[in-house]
Amino acid sequence: MKMSTYKALEIDYKYDPKQARRKINGNTFVFHCHHYATLYTQLAIDAKDLADGPQLLTDAAEDSFRAWFDRYDADHPGMTLEEKADMGRQFYSWSGLGDMKIGCLGENGGEVYLHHSHLDSGWLKKFGRAEKPVNFITCGFIAALFSSLYNQPARSYRVVEEKSIACGDMQSLFIAVRV
């Protein structure tokens, strides 16, 4: 059995003042406050006459996070599946998105819980309680994490938010299913 030397998430953060760009482990990255994130989430919901806005936001998040996971994986060979999953959990927290716990995990899917969510907290402050789950960004994050863990192409996992902090639940529950 090959033992991994992976201990904790490694972050290489650089800021280029000439281009006003932030790079995390070589990937360009943009942080947004919860007010901004809730506004473009609401915009995605309102785009229902033009396209499936929530799915577009989920797909964009999946593509963005998948690039980060793939690069991190290439730069840290030898991680076990559990270490890769924990790296994803740590990155979610480090980036300010919330507190994630991965429940069951398997190639056909799994469960992910949020005890705290940046977007849900912002939604509650800005709009009050939501009628339906709104955390499409985390759906994309989880889809990217699962497809990266199992070396599958994008859109290999469908992620649905079954319970939502923004809807008044004590924690959010996301179900990932391989499609």
Cα 113 from Cα 101, distance rounded (Å): 5
Any domain includes 3: no
Which residue segment(s) compose the domain that 150 sits in?
Answer: 34-178
HSE value, Cβ hemisphere, 13 Å, CA-based, for 10: 15
Q: In this structure, is residue 45 part of a structural domain? A: yes
**How many domains, in total, are found in the chain?**
1
Q: Give the global pTM.
A: 0.86
Tell me whether residue 5 is in a domain.
no
At residue 19 the predicted structure's pLDDT band, cuts being 50, 70 and 90, is low
Mean pLDDT for the stretch of residues 67-94: 91
**Are 78 and 6 within 8 A, CB to CB?**
yes
CATH of the domain at 137: 3.30.1380.20
In a domain, 144, yes or no: yes
User: 39-48, pLDDT tens digit by residue?
Assistant: 878 988 888 7
Q: Is residue 110 part of a domain?
A: yes
Q: Half-sphere exposure of residue 64, counting CA atoms within 13 Å on the CB side?
A: 18
Token pair of 118 as six digits: 């940046």
Q: Is residue 92 part of a domain?
A: yes
Domain-located, residue 150: yes
In a domain, 114, yes or no: yes
* Amino acid at residue number 162: E
